[in-house]
Structure 1
Amino acid sequence: MTHVVSDSCIRCRYTDCVDVCPVDCFKAGKDFLVIDPDECIDCAVCIPECPVNAIYAEEDLPDHLGHFVAINAKLAREWPLITKREQPHPEAEKWSTATNKLGTVTLQGS
């Protein structure tokens, strides 16, 4: 199993989770992060660090967010590795409580 970054991260892109990851499995796009399923060791230390509760163990991912397993796997092959905390998305606070944000971003490039 692996962990999955879900919809809540979109347009927030808090990177608190990156600082605690022991294996550097996070990849960064312009608007959100994903977890590389080939690198994640299922340690779960990232889950409590996310201020918007965007990270789930794959088996705990709600059904309506199941498509994020494939999104994380795909984008992890395309986006660059992130290994330290960065500033969140400029509009993170505004978007932190929004839902169904996937349609607000492009999934190509970083």
Structure 2
Amino acid sequence: MMDKIVMFLKTCEGREGGYGGGPGQLPHLATTYAAVMALCTIGTENAYQSINRETLKGYLKAMKISDGGFRMHACGEADIRGAYCAFAVASLTNLMDEALIDKSAEWLV
């Protein structure tokens, strides 16, 4: 059963990173957060390895805006949810770095 969930979530992964709400849907930080949390909860080697960390990192950086906030999706709104989702995903996948958090504390304030 868990392998079927992992396979389904893999079909939701965007070509350039992040996860959409279903196969072929636009990646969104909220659904990326949900997918990564589900995969980490499953906790199998297969689940962990299904996360393409390279494209995920690119997606997170693409959602970052110059003032330190994060868009929820390409050309989408920026609010506290974006920062939370991006930081939670980056932390769990060991992708947190200085570039990702640059100016974010000031933006949050």
Q: State the TM-score, normalized to the length of structure 2.
A: 0.27
In terms of fraction of residues, the more helix-rich structure is: 2
Say which structure is richer in strand.
1
Q: Which structure has more RCO (C-alpha within 8 Å, separation ≥ 6)?
A: 1
